[in-house]
Structure 1
Amino acid sequence: MSELSDRDRAVLRSIFDPTATIADVVDDGDKFCDDDDAENSPSFEESKALCVQGVKLAEEGKLEDALELMSTAVLAAPERAGAYNDRAQLLRLMARDDDAMADIDRAVELSTGTRSRSRALALCQQGVLLRKRGADEDARRAFSEAAALGSSYARKQVVEMNPYAALCNQMLSQVMKGENIKL
């Protein structure tokens, strides 16, 4: 596979961190109550290290190798929500949305009752995929929960999905184009 451009890396970063923009600007507005993967067992630490290596491989464009490492990370700590979330992000990048959704669902299930970054990120990914599938109400619920957990990305999505905001944006667009507003 060819080398990734800076823009490709920025897109990849935005996929692996939904709070990042394409310009690779991190939104520091996120505030999470619980630490991710607070358990420091050897299997959790191994899983985290494997995920970090997987992200590096993905950044190099070695997606299949990254997937193999991410799958090993899941096997190393099958109760670690973050491993499923990380693998889901990679699967989304590989356009394997159904597989990604299965991992996202597992991450959400494992993080039930927590207020962690892993849960918020999984809910954001869930919202993105649900929205892509046209399930806007379910997406809005996922984004709303992630926003309540402290995700600024999710807060932005909830606002964007507000039908009144959409109508205002449409009217503003018409005004900017010099069109007559149709109510």
Structure 2
Amino acid sequence: MAAGLENLSERDKAVLRSIFDPTATIAQVVDDGDRFEEDDDEPSNDAQKESSKFCAEGVQLAEAGKFEEALQVLTKGIEVAPGRAAAYNDRAQLLRLMNRDDDAMADLDKALQLTEGRKGRARALALCQRGVLLRKRDEGDSARASFTEAAKLGSGFAKKQVVEMNPYAALCNQMLSQVMRGETEIKL
């Protein structure tokens, strides 16, 4: 590495990589991982533990392509512990897979209501899923707001989305790509 660059943080190095390689995806540039202040997904009572077991079973069923069965089991996970935000996140993920986006959004809204004022994993995951749905609906500003809050809570995925959705970064990458290809006139 060039002199003076060895003291740069991984994030600074990633920014430089993105500048000098405009074709790199965000995932190739940096993966900070998740760094949540709180891990509020840990079940703390019997009902939450039972909910967690139902949700784990529901996820396995979903992975096996048994969506309707998975939905029934995940719903049981919510019924035994209706205050457990992670259960709503799990069911929302399945509902997204089933193309039931409005139902997924309702579950995410409930998860966000349950985690209001908290700074943990469950809230960040609900915000990320919400951001994905909003982005799918072409509601970029709202999606960016969800990802921004999730990034502040420690979500590595959300941080990547915020960078990817930054219109100035996209414009810079476009211009830099044109320069690298030797185009003499920059098209905006």
**TM-score category (smaller protein):** 0.7 to 0.9
Residue 94 (structure 1) aligns with? 98
What does 1:17-28 align with in structure 2 at a 5 Å threshold? none
CA pair 120-94 structure 1, distance change in 2 beyond 3 A: same
Residue 7 (structure 1) aligns with? none
In structure 1, what residue type is equivalent to 2:33?
G
Give unpaired runs (5+ residues) of structure 1: 1-26
* Residue 85 of structure 2 is aligned to residue 59 of structure 1: no
Computing the radius of gyration from Cα coordinates, the structure with the larger value is 2
Residue 33 (structure 1) aligns with? 37
What does 1:97-176 align with in structure 2 at a 5 Å threshold? 97-175=101-179
CA distance in structure 1 between the partners assigned to 2:174 and 2:71 by the alignment: 41
Residue 21 (structure 2) aligns with? none
Which string of whole-angstrom CA distances, capped at 9 and with x for unpartnered residues, describes residues 30-60 of structure 1?
0111122345111100100000001111111
Residue 182 (structure 1) aligns with? 187
CA pair 38-139 structure 1, distance change in 2 beyond 3 A: same
Q: Is the 8 A contact 1:37 1:44 kept in 2?
A: no
CA distance in structure 2 between the partners assigned to 1:176 and 1:146 by the alignment: 34
Residue 83 (structure 1) aligns with? 87
Which string of whole-angstrom CA distances, capped at 9 and with x for unpartnered residues, describes residues 104-149 of structure 1?
0100110111111110000000111111111111111111110000
Deviation at 1:160, TM superposition (A): 0.9
CA pair 132-36 structure 1, distance change in 2 beyond 3 A: same
What percent of counterpart residues are identical? 64
CA distance in structure 1 between the partners assigned to 2:155 and 2:58 by the alignment: 24
Deviation at 1:29, TM superposition (A): 1.5
Q: Is the 8 A contact 1:115 1:149 kept in 2?
A: yes
CA distance in structure 1 between the partners assigned to 2:48 and 2:180 by the alignment: 52
In structure 1, what residue type is equivalent to 2:126?
A
CA distance in structure 2 between the partners assigned to 1:145 and 1:54 by the alignment: 28
State how many pairs are aligned: 157
Q: Is the 8 A contact 2:41 2:121 kept in 1?
A: no
